[in-house]
Structure 1
Amino acid sequence: MIANNQKHPTQGKPMPAKPYSSGHIGAVAGNYTQMRISGAVKQQLVELLCEELDRLVPQMESETLAQDPERKTLDDPNRTRLNYNRTRELMIDRINTIDSVGSAAVQAGIEHIEQHLAKILKHAEAAAEKDRVSTIKPRHLDLAVSGMGLDGDGELVEQEVTEETETLIVGQGGGVLTRSSLLSLARSHAKMPVTDDAVEELIDTYYMVVEKLEGDIRAHAQLGGNPVQFIESIARMQTLMSLGWMRSMLTRAASNARERGYKRIDIEQIVHLDPY
């Protein structure tokens, strides 16, 4: 029996949560490396991730309250995410054989649907820009859906259509830059696979360099500008348009990865390269 002046063990501050298990972290880490991970490293990873939560959660809490001082639930202060419970309910409505939907499936579903939304809006935005308007209207969405090859159920009719709509035009006569073309370049020039994060970083860096070169060309083309610098900028732009820059970046990234004993190019190899 518990005395009147004693707290029930289930009352008051809750017991601290158990950390991740090293086996679970090892399984998750397997998504990001092809190497085996020792047991000691798995345990260290558990500690490192918990330390990151020590830093992240108070920051998120502070930012959440800064946006809404009355809020009682921790939120993502940086972006609005699809509602977890509503997404779970919608997924449950659509399963046939399995009885329920786990949290990992809901998280994966949210990530997929948000990426799908982003892709649709990207194409609709492009259609609106062609009309020189700043509002996405139904006709722009119709063009996006048609261009993506979506049927009435929202599914892709053909995989080739998706690849075509994801094409990013580099220049006339210079070829095109797509996810598949980058993967092909990685196989032919880097001689190793490249992760999705590295591909995204490469594309972002590519257009950052293009934007800077365009600014240099405009500056040097002005009356009185240095013609040597103008010619050099044009030459660098031609290299970019012919994908020579991309080949060079992939080759250097692959060399960096091999020096570190990696079997694929990850974002780490890209961000440490000088793109200029």
Structure 2
Amino acid sequence: MSSDQYVITADDLRRSYAGGFEAVSGVSFSVARGEIFALLGTNGAGKTSTVELLEGLAAPAAGTVRILGHDPYRERAAVRPRMGVMLQEGGFPSDLTVTETAVMWARCTSGARPVGEALDLVGLGGRASVRVKQLSGGERRRLDLAMALLGRPEVLFLDEPTTGLDAEGRRDTWDLVRALRDTGTTVLLTTHYLEEAETLADRLAIMHGGRIVTAGTPAEVTADRPARIRFTLPDGVTAAQLPLSLMAAADGRRVEIRTQRLQESLGELLRWAGERNLLLEAFDARSASLEEAFLEIAQAEVASV
């Protein structure tokens, strides 16, 4: 992919704070046009510090950032009209109605889409006359998203976009983000919901200690980690009777098998159970998840302390 197809680029990015603490230590990645990229991180990993540099809220101590080919800090006037930012907390005046808030925001936005259209996109059309202070936490997050979408952004930063939403609201937001991606919007997403990152992201990176520890598609990030098979053995059957090749761990009758060969291990286990006419209860088999990859990194952090 040529460099002009990348909408977001960070090259050896560094950020330091008073006292010499380096929160971002040589971070490099690129995000292509029309891609959803999730930036994840353990607590204190430097994720927020990195995103603030990408948004142009601060200048890096070293390295370079480019958004749509521009330095977002020094060339803010060229970048800001083409960028949408959804912060963790919008901080809107509580006594304004949803429509009044959107109108105020639209007057500060170049080429703003119609207010009603923005509210309908996030499912707030029916709450247009309600005051902000009367909105639920989830509805306020929808309003935050609507304001980020007012300017029809080419690049959209979403910071914890579904915090406070119920399951239906979260799925609706996922559908909207996918639709934006499909029309060419580039999305950089931060989230603590690992299922959200695994579901939405075309590619992702996990930060720890100011650096990117692993990056790639969700499948690539989890590829080297073992799949797992869990089940409960019938009364009178112990894990010691399982084939040795399955290398099972057991807690009483509850058994867990970790394997890099999920299909082969499943076949062997089911043949063993079938030959003995055994019913394996609470059976669950799945490939490694992003959550497991993330927890492995977090546990390594604790072990290093």
Does TM, normalized by the shorter one, top 0.5? no
Task: Identify the structure with bigger relative contact order (alpha carbons < 8 Å, sequence gap 6+).
Answer: 2
Query: If the TM-score is normalised by the length of the shorter chain, which range does it land in?
Result: under 0.3
**More strand as a share of residues:** 2
TM-score scaled to structure 1, two decimals?
0.24
**More helix as a share of residues:** 1
Which has the larger Rg? 1
